[in-house]
Amino acid sequence: MLFNSLQFAFFLPVIFLLYWYATRQSVRLQNYLMLAASYFFYACWDYRFLGLLIFSTLLDYFTAIQMANSTRQNQKRFWFWLSIAINLGFLGVFKYYNFFAASFADGLSLLGLKANPATLQVILPVGISFYTFHGLSYVIDIYNNKIKPERNFVDYALFVSFFPLLVAGPIERATHLLPQIQQPRVFDYTKAVDGLRQILWGLFKKVVIADNCAVIANAVFDGSANYPGSAHVIGAVFFAFQIYCDFSGYSDIAIGTARLFGIELLRNFSYPYFSRNIAEFWRRWHISLSSWFRDYLYIPLGGSKGSTWRKIRNVFIIFIVSGFWHGANWTFIVWGLLNALFIIPSVIARTNRNNLDVAASGKTFPSFGELASMIGTFGLTVFAWIFFRAESLGHAGRYLAKIFSRSIFDQPNLQKTDVLLTTSFFILCLVLLEWRGRANQHALADVGTKWRRPVRWVFYYGLLMAICVFAGSNQQFIYFQF
């Protein structure tokens, strides 16, 4: 069940009304309802993997209690590593087995040896990387005595499976979400309206911008040989907007949906393309994953403490792992490596903690320097996205060769001019609206207080109309494959 599907348009109001009318007397009932709704939501994807989700939930629920009950450190450590091993084992089998098997065979062939490792015909269970990371953060926090285990299975299961975040995040922390699940929720008109506004904005980004950008980006990436370098630049830029609007659109819908139920999820994006350097970009892009890696990998490795070499090592590790988290392909690893290379100069120069505020804070327009640094940062991310989108390293190489060829000065000759023009117009609208609202949680957050109702509603109707008329051909959310 996609967020941008008709099924979801029926599912959400039904659950909303049941939640606030039929079960509002009891938080326990509300949680039962939400858990059932979440499992139904997941089963709509593929009911066969519901068992895996429930098993993963039971595993972390059980091992967390066992850790808390352990009287000896060895015992606690056993339960901790058991959980980690099984969680990562699932990820390894479903997501990485074929990659490792093929890479092993490739490695042996380089040495002149031949191996035919068995590959598995496995389907990647949707959301496995996300709910596994939910569980891992919970187990690690219990092990580190940061939180106490949740004894109520329904509450814990809802923390893992809450449907707005189940298949593509934001990756929540038990410290943030579990207390909200345990406490009674009160309907808040302002939050609910803002949630709807965020859903509308997320839908616009996904359906109008991302899905139409995909038409151009796919045409260029899939038919690279037919286009000159100039079209490759356009294809890469459109992919940059596609992935941003696809994923941040999903996150907006997820966060907005959760707000309808009185639950606040972690923020996942904060206008990343207005970043003035790569370090800032990574504080603003997929925030819940970046902060997860920061807290559970980077800091335990020593973080930015210690020698320069240690810092550089830690940066490389975190970005390689982050790349690998996205998918079992060398392209993602190179994408991670590139980002590490981009960020290392600022780590060495200790400028990575600069630019903590929004760009041109308190001003309408950025200075020339800010604008130049934003464009430069955007250029670097677009360069890295080419590896992220390419099918293989060879594909990425050929793509870049086209960009750095003389044909960059040729006419792009893209066939779908109408899609190109309308999407460019909507990208411009996106940039202007996001720039306008860059100090807020989401681009339309202050619309409710700053715009009069008639203006506001005309704007909402306009967005709805754009969604209905200019919806691109239905594309899966990119991050579902991770």
Partner 1 sequence: MKKFLFHIGCFVLPLLVLAYPADLVLSKYLKQSHPYSDEYSVWNAIYEGKLNAEILVYGSSTAWVQVNPQSIADSLHRRVYNLGMDGHNFQLQYLRHKQVLKYNPPPKLIIQTLDALTLQRRPDLFNQDQFLPYMLFNKDLKNATANYKGYKPVDFQVPLVRYYGKQKAIRTAAELTLPTIGEPPVRVLGFQAQNKVWNNDLSAARNLMEKYTVQMDSASIQLFDHYLQECREKHLQLVFHYSPEFIVGQRFISNREDVIALYEKFSRKYGIPFYNYSTDPLTRDRDNYYNGLHLNKQGASKLTSKLIHDLQQEVSLNRCFN
Phi-psi region of 117 (alpha: psi -120 to 50; beta: other; left: phi over 0): beta
Q: Which is nearer to partner 1, 193 or 401 (CB)?
A: 193
C-alpha dist (Å) from residue 133 to 49, 56, 64, 91, 349: 17, 11, 15, 10, 32
Give the DSSP letter of residue 34.
Answer: H
Q: Which is nearer to partner 1, 108 or 468 (CB)?
A: 468
Q: Is residue 464 near partner 1 by the rule CB under 8 A?
A: yes
Which of 331, 472, 478, 482 touches partner 1 by CB under 8 A?
472
In the complex, the smallest distance separating the C-beta of residue 30 from partner 1, rounded to whole angstroms, is 14
Which residues are CB-neighbours of 108 under 8 A, at least 6 positions away? Answer: 114, 115
Which of 55, 81, 100, 457 touches partner 1 by CB under 8 A?
457
In the complex, the smallest distance separating the C-beta of residue 32 from partner 1, rounded to whole angstroms, is 20
Contact 389, 224 (CB under 8 A): no
293: phi then psi, degrees, rounded to nearest 5: -65, -35
Q: Which is nearer to partner 1, 334 or 419 (CB)?
A: 419
List binders of partner 1 among 206-235 (CB under 8 A): 207
Q: Residue 170: is the preceding peptide bond cis (ω within 30°)? A: yes
Contact 238, 416 (CB under 8 A): no
Is 232 an annotated catalytic residue?
no
Q: Which of 134, 232, 286, 326 is catalytic?
A: 326
Q: Tokens 């959400």 appear where?
A: 12
Which of 55, 100, 104, 187 touches partner 1 by CB under 8 A?
187
Give the DSSP letter of residue 49.
Answer: G
Q: Is residue 421 near partner 1 by the rule CB under 8 A?
A: no
Q: Is residue 122 near partner 1 by the rule CB under 8 A?
A: no
Which of 192, 371, 382, 429 touches partner 1 by CB under 8 A?
192
List binders of partner 1 among 360-389 (CB under 8 A): none
Return the SS3 of 475.
coil
Which of 470, 477, 479, 482 touches partner 1 by CB under 8 A?
470
Return the SS3 of 460.
helix
Task: Write out the two tokens for 88.
Answer: 């990562």
C-alpha dist (Å) from residue 147 to 67, 173, 178, 179, 183: 12, 11, 10, 11, 16
Q: Which is nearer to partner 1, 20 or 324 (CB)?
A: 20
Per rule CB under 8 A, count of chain residues that contact partner 1: 20
List binders of partner 1 among 20-79 (CB under 8 A): 20
In the complex, the smallest distance separating the C-beta of residue 425 from partner 1, rounded to whole angstroms, is 13
Q: Which is nearer to partner 1, 6 or 110 (CB)?
A: 6
Q: Is residue 100 near partner 1 by the rule CB under 8 A?
A: no
Cα–Cα distance for residue pair 300/295, rounded to 1 Å: 7
List binders of partner 1 among 236-295 (CB under 8 A): none
Q: Is residue 474 near partner 1 by the rule CB under 8 A?
A: yes
C-alpha dist (Å) from residue 167 to 54, 126, 134, 159, 331: 14, 6, 11, 13, 23
| Cα diameter, the chain | 73
Q: Is residue 469 near partner 1 by the rule CB under 8 A?
A: yes
Compute the half-sphere exposure of residue 192: CA atoms within 13 Å on the CB side of its CA. Answer: 12
Q: Which is nearer to partner 1, 161 or 212 (CB)?
A: 212
Q: Is residue 460 near partner 1 by the rule CB under 8 A?
A: yes
Q: Whose CA is closest to 131, among 81, 177, 79, 69? A: 177
Q: Which is nearer to partner 1, 455 or 464 (CB)?
A: 464
Q: Which is nearer to partner 1, 363 or 418 (CB)?
A: 418
In the complex, the smallest distance separating the C-beta of residue 461 from partner 1, rounded to whole angstroms, is 8
In the complex, the smallest distance separating the C-beta of residue 421 from partner 1, rounded to whole angstroms, is 12
In the complex, the smallest distance separating the C-beta of residue 422 from partner 1, rounded to whole angstroms, is 8
Q: Is residue 473 near partner 1 by the rule CB under 8 A?
A: yes
In the complex, the smallest distance separating the C-beta of residue 193 from partner 1, rounded to whole angstroms, is 7
Contact 4, 199 (CB under 8 A): no
Which residues are CB-neighbours of 239 under 8 A, at least 6 positions away? Answer: 213, 217, 221, 382, 385, 386, 389
- The binding site for partner 1 (CB under 8 A) comprises 6, 20, 187, 189, 192-193, 196, 207, 418, 422, 457, 460, 464, 468-474
Catalytic residues: 326
